[in-house]
Each structure stands twice: as C-alpha cells, then as structure tokens.
C-alpha cells in the first residue's frame, strides 16, 4: 500500500516539476513575500515590535489569498485530466485502490505547496533578519506557526480542488469551479459577512452567528488563528476586531479538522466517478 | 483451463440495454476477438470484465474471482482505446510507475519498452511520441508481469501495417505462454484473422460466434466470378451464361459456395469463348457487414 502511494506521489511530483508548477508556485510566493517585506520595513521603525513579527502579520493576509490559489491551480486537473486522457480507467484496473491513488497525488501536491511556502517565507525571514538583526528572532515562533498553518490551508484547498476535479469530469469545467470556489471562499465570504454585520447593526447575527461563521471558513480560521496567536493587527482585513473576541481553540480546531474533512469530501466525490 | 467466464452478462443505462445476456468464455492461450460497430457494447463488456462498472444482471469471473477484486486485478492487464499518457513524462518514467504498481522491479522498464520497439525513445517525453508510439506504450504496460488475461480495446487502430504484424506476433507469443486474450475491433479485416475465435456483437446482443471458417460457412456468402471473353465473343458468352451480366466487357456472375465446381465445369466447357477468369470469395468486410447487418 505504502509503495503504491509512494509510486503515485513520485510520478505526480515529476509531472508537477515538468509542468513548471513547482517553479511557478515558488516564484509567486517568493516575489510576494519580497514585496511585502519591503513594504513592511517602513513602519517597523515607529513600532516597538521586531521586524519579523511585522512581516509575519503582512504575510498572513498574503497567504490567505495566495496559498488557496496555488493549491487549487495545482489540483483542479488531477482527476478530470486523467479521465480525459483515458489513463484513469487504466490506473483503476491496476492493483491500486482509489484511496491510494488520491492520497498519492495529494502527498505530491502538498509537497509542492510546502516547498513554495518554505521558499516564500524564508525570503521574508532573511529580509527581516537583514534589517532587524538578532531582534528578529522574537518573531520566529509566529513565523513557524504561519508555516505549518499555511501547509494545512494548502491541504484543505488541494482536497477541495480534487473534489471539483471529480465532480466536473472535464479539466475546463474543473478550472471554472476551482476559480469560483476561490472567489466565494476567499473573497465573497468575508464581504458577505461584513455586509451582514453592517445590516445587522449589533444584533444576534453579530454576537451569535458571526463568530461561528468566521471560524467555519478554513481561510478565515487560518487568518484569525494566526492573528490571535501572534497578537498582531491585520490592517488589510476589516475583520480583525472580531478576531480578538474569539477563543483561540476554535480557529485552531477548524484548521486541524478541515484538511481531514476536505480529504474525505474528495474521496467521496472520487467514488462517484465512473471511468 | 478457462480464464474468463461471462454468463448472461447484462448492462442497462436507463432504458437502453447496452449489453444483453452475453455468454462467453475465454480459455488460457486462446485469442478471442470481439467485433461490433461503435456502440455495439464492446467497451461496456470490457469495462464490466475489468470491474470498472457493475452489471445489472448475469455474472463475470476471472479465474473464479469477481471483476475488480484484488486477485482479478493482479491477473488482468488492460489496454484502453487511445490511451494518452501524460505528455510531460518519459516512456521510462511511465513504465516504472506501472511496474511499481504491480510490485515488479523498475529495472524491467527498458526491457519491456525494447520489446515493443521503444528502446530508443524510452528517455524522451511521451508528448514527443507519435500516435503509434503512444499505442506501444499502452501495449508495453499491458505486458507487465505476464498477465493471465489481457483485455485490449481496439489495439490495432492507429498502427501501420508493419506495426500491426509485430503486434500480432507479440500476441501469438503471449497466447503460446498461456495468456487468455480478448481484443475488440470494429472491422473484421483489421484482425487479419489472427485470432482463434470471434464473437460478433450488435446492439448489445451476441449475434455470432465461431472461427472465421465457421462464420464463412454459416453466412454462405456468394462468390463472384468474372469471365473475360475472347475478342468479339462477349455476346456469345452471355448466351452461354444467361445468369451473368456484362460489366466492362466482362461477364460477372455470382454463385453459392457449394456451386463453385459446377460453375468451373461450365467455364471449362466453353474454353474457346474465354480468355481468362477470376473467382473472388466474399471479403472479411463483406462477411462482417452481412452478419452484423442481419442482426439489426
């Protein structure tokens, strides 16, 4: 079982490398990290916080957009592409269980996301140490937290991408669904919540529903957990005020449960695929 | 020893019966061809045997095991129609992957690719391969591990005549080693009669089964006889053969296979009128369209 998962992962990683997904993901993360580091260096002088913590606070809002996007781009073609090429039927006639096939691909793609995350944040860390010296070491715990939560966030959206890939059956349809999911989960969800709060004007929605709604979205849970745990202020998101009122275990639980739930959803969607 | 056994296998999609009580068996070392138009149910039958879809009636067994079970999968190899492997990886990488899945040593990759004539292209990306070469990659993966049952979906489509002959030579070798082979085709002539038995499907039903000779005898398609008259003897010849027609200065007539000798005697009796003659048996395509047309 392990050998078949590993074989699938190796092939998938080779494909990701040849398709330039690895290089593109790494380049994207590094470039944005570099830009944020440069932008974040300016206010660092006035604040009594180390430069790395400031950079991490900016990286949180970067990661919440970029990591899901990279994950969906890598994963949308996974099943639909094989189905269209005719190799899915072939693979499934081998002594290879559907779970093994899906898990092998997830492992390889998560490897790509992890490499991109490490590369991007390493650039930010190097920049912070270069400008702040040893003082920047205070921000290392926050950076590490950002690293592993980013990888988990990537895992969630990889599996969601797989689910889209199974349901759409065609790569073009899967791509459209993946972009739609990204827009809804990352952009529209927050806008919708903000609009609801404004309309509600401090009513029961704001006090009872909203904190849960915020935690249930993996991207928001990721943002709130990182902000709350590092005590940083997120200027880019209007939701930061709410973040402080939510107990830290809630977003943490969401971050830990979502990868499993999404993987399960992908597996169930895969079961419905008839090659 | 029987490897593949199908008994009254039935599959319906909604109201449509794509496979209707097909009963068939393939023994070790036997090569059976599955013939039929597009949509006759060939691919459906193969997917049922592979366990990719499940029947609505009847049973299928591979050496006594249910299709799709771990043992059945380990015993069976499959060549899908027009398989397009990922263009970004090399033939060798693709082959190593399939070897790993079957628990075979990866060093066999080059040996297997060599066997299908891809030895020189093993390190190149599949995206650079021609259609025929991609078909050979598909064939190569089906050879892994010496399968007991081989399911080949239109394996010769896209192959040139030389490759097709090499392909059948490979099949002969496999069959000699005891592999049961079930292959499909949409044309009888594609098969070059290199199979032991044929099963003809039409609209999901099994309309004929047997060797090529059996099918010919059963169909009893007429022979065509062409007689070229000596110069100026055309009209005289037509008087002697009133059942013929004059086409392009030659007399054409048809006769049942059993009448062949009688016609030859008549030709011999009128030697002075005749310059030459030809006898044509019905072609494989004639035979095939006759059988599948009769069912429809």
Q: Can you give the residue range of the structural domain that contains A174?
A: 2-271
B contact test, residue of A81, A92, A94 with most B CBs within 10 A: A94
Instruction: Give B24 to chain A, closest Cα distance, Å.
Output: 21
Q: Which of A31-40, A101-110, B144-153, B270-279 is predicted least confidently?
A: A31-40
Distances (CA, A) of A149 to A60, A145, A254, B294: 10, 6, 11, 67
Q: Strand runs (DSSP E) across chain B, as ranges?
A: 2-13, 16-27, 31-35, 57-62, 76-79, 149-152, 180-185, 197-202, 205-210, 223-229, 245-247, 250-255, 274-280
Around Cβ A214, how many Cβ atoms within 10 Å? 23
Q: How many domains does chain A have?
A: 1
CB within 8 Å: B84 and A87 = yes
For residue A11, give the nearest of B78, B97, B103 by CB distance: B97
**What's the burial of B86, exposed, middle or buried (CB within 10 Å: 0-12/13-18/19+)?**
buried
- Radius of gyration, alpha carbons of chain B: 24
CB within 8 Å: B70 and A14 = no
What confidence score (pLDDT) does residue A201 get? 80
Mean pLDDT of B174-202: 85
Beta bridge partners of B60: B6
CA distance B20 to B202: 10
Q: Is the pLDDT of residue A48 over 90?
A: no
For residue B101, give the nearest of A7, A85, A86 by CB distance: A7
What confidence score (pLDDT) does residue B144 get? 93
- Asked whether the beta carbons of B143 and B151 are under 8 A apart, the reply is no
Instruction: Give B150 to chain A, closest Cα distance, Å.
Output: 11
Both tokens assigned to B73: 């999968």
- Long-range residue pairs from A197-202, CB within 8 A, at least 24 positions apart, any chain: none
Binned at pLDDT 50, 70 and 90, residue A45 comes out as very low
Instruction: Give B218 to chain A, closest Cα distance, Å.
Output: 37
CA distance B69 to B72: 5
Q: Which of A245, A39, A244, A55 is nearest to A146 (CA)?
A: A55
Give phi and psi for B25, each to the nearest 5. Answer: -140, 150
Binned at pLDDT 50, 70 and 90, residue A37 comes out as confident
Instruction: Give A251 to chain B, closest Cα distance, Å.
Output: 39
- Asked whether the beta carbons of A241 and A202 are under 8 A apart, the reply is no
Q: Please report, in angstroms and rounded to a whole number, the separation of the first and last CA atoms in chain B.
A: 34
B contact test, residue of A84, A89, A99, A100 with most B CBs within 10 A: A89
Both tokens assigned to B283: 């072609």
CA distance B289 to B296: 10
Q: Which of A97-111, A119-133, B79-93, B219-233 has the highest mean pLDDT?
A: A97-111
B185 touches chain A (CB under 8 A): no
Distances (CA, A) of A232 to A56, A65, A78, A140, A238: 9, 18, 37, 14, 14
Say what the alpha-carbon torsion angle B99, B104, B108, B110 is, to the nearest 10 degrees.
10
ipTM above 0.90, yes or no: no
Check residues B217 and B112 and name the one with the higher pLDDT.
B112
For residue A86, give the nearest of B50, B82, B88 by CB distance: B82
What is the total residue count of chain A? Answer: 275
- pLDDT tens-digit map of A151-184: 999 999 999 999 999 999 899 999 999 999 999 9
What confidence score (pLDDT) does residue B111 get? 94
What confidence score (pLDDT) does residue A243 get? 57
What confidence score (pLDDT) does residue B193 get? 64
Strands B149-152 and B76-79: parallel
Around Cβ A224, how many Cβ atoms within 10 Å? 29
Sheet of strand B57-62: strand arrangement = B16-27, B2-13, B57-62
- Long-range residue pairs from B19-23, CB within 8 A, at least 24 positions apart, any chain: B19/B44, B19/B45, B19/B48, B19/B55, B19/B204, B20/B203, B20/B204, B20/B205, B21/B57, B21/B58, B21/B205, B21/B206, B22/B58, B22/B201, B22/B204, B22/B205, B22/B206, B23/B58, B23/B206
Q: Where do the domains of chain B lie, and which CATH numbers do they carry?
A: 2-217 (3.40.50.300), 222-280 (3.30.70)
**What's the burial of B258, exposed, middle or buried (CB within 10 Å: 0-12/13-18/19+)?**
exposed
Report which secondary-structure segment, H or E, holds B111.
helix B108-115
Give phi and psi for B278, each to the nearest 5. Answer: -135, 145
């Amino acid at each position: 079982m392990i050998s078949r998962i590993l074989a699938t992962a190796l092939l998938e990683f080779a494909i990701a490398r040849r398709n330039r997904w690895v290089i593109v993901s790494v380049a994207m993360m590094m470039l944005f990290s570099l830009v944020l580091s440069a932008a974040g260096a300016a206010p660092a002088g006035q604040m009594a916080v180390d430069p790395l913590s400031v950079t991490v606070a900016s990286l949180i809002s970067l990661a919440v957009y970029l990591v899901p996007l990279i994950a969906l781009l890598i994963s949308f073609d996974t099943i639909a592409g094989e189905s269209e090429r005719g190799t899915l039927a072939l693979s499934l006639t081998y002594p290879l269980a559907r779970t093994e096939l899906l898990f092998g691909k997830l492992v390889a793609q998560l490897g790509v996301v992890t490499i991109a995350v490490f590369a991007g944040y390493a650039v930010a860390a190097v920049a912070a140490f270069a400008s702040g010296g040893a003082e920047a070491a205070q921000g290392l715990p926050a950076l590490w937290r950002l690293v592993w939560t980013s990888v988990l966030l990537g895992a969630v959206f990889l599996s969601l991408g797989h689910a889209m890939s199974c349901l759409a059956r065609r790569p073009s349809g899967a791509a459209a669904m993946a972009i739609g999911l990204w827009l809804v989960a990352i952009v529209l969800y927050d806008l919708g919540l903000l609009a609801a709060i404004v309309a509600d004007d401090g009513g029961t929605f704001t006090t009872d529903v909203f904190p849960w709604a915020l935690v249930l979205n993996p991207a928001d849970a990721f943002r709130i957990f990182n902000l709350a745990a590092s005590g940083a202020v997120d200027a880019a998101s209007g939701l930061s005020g709410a973040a402080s009122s939510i107990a830290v275990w809630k977003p943490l639980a969401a971050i830990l449960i979502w990868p499993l739930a999404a993987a399960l959803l992908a597996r169930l969607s895969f079961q419905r695929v008839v090659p | 020893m029987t490897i593949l056994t199908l008994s009254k296998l039935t599959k319906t999609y909604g109201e449509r019966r794509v496979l209707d009580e097909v009963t068939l068996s393939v023994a070790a070392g036997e090569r059976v061809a599955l013939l039929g138009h597009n949509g006759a149910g060939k691919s459906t039958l193969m997917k049922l045997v592979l366990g990719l879809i499940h029947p609505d009636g009847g049973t299928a067994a591979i050496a006594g095991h249910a299709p799709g079970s771990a043992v059945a999968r380990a015993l069976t190899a499959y060549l899908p129609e027009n398989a397009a492997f990922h263009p970004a990886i090399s033939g060798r990488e693709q082959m190593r992957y399939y070897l790993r899945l079957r628990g075979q040593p990866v060093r066999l990759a080059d040996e297997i690719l060599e066997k299908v004539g891809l030895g020189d292209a093993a390190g190149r990306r599949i995206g650079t391969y021609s259609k025929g070469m991609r078909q050979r990659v598909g064939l190569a993966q089906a050879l892994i591990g010496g399968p007991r049952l081989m399911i080949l979906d239109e394996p010769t489509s896209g192959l040139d005549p030389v490759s097709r002959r090499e392909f059948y030579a490979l099949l002969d070798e496999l069959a000699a080693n005891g592999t049961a082979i079930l292959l499909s085709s949409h044309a009888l002539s594609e098969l070059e009669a290199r199979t032991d038995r044929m099963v003809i499907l039409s609209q999901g039903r099994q309309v004929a089964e047997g060797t090529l000779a059996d099918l010919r005898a059963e169909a009893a398609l007429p022979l065509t006889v062409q007689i070229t008259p000596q110069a100026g003897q055309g009209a005289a010849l037509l008087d002697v053969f009133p059942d013929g027609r004059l086409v392009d200065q030659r007399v054409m007539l048809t006769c049942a296979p059993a009448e062949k000798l009688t016609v030859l005697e008549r030709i011999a009796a009128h030697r002075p009128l005749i310059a030459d003659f030809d006898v044509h048996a019905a072609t494989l395509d004639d035979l095939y369209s006759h059988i599948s047309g009769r069912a429809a």
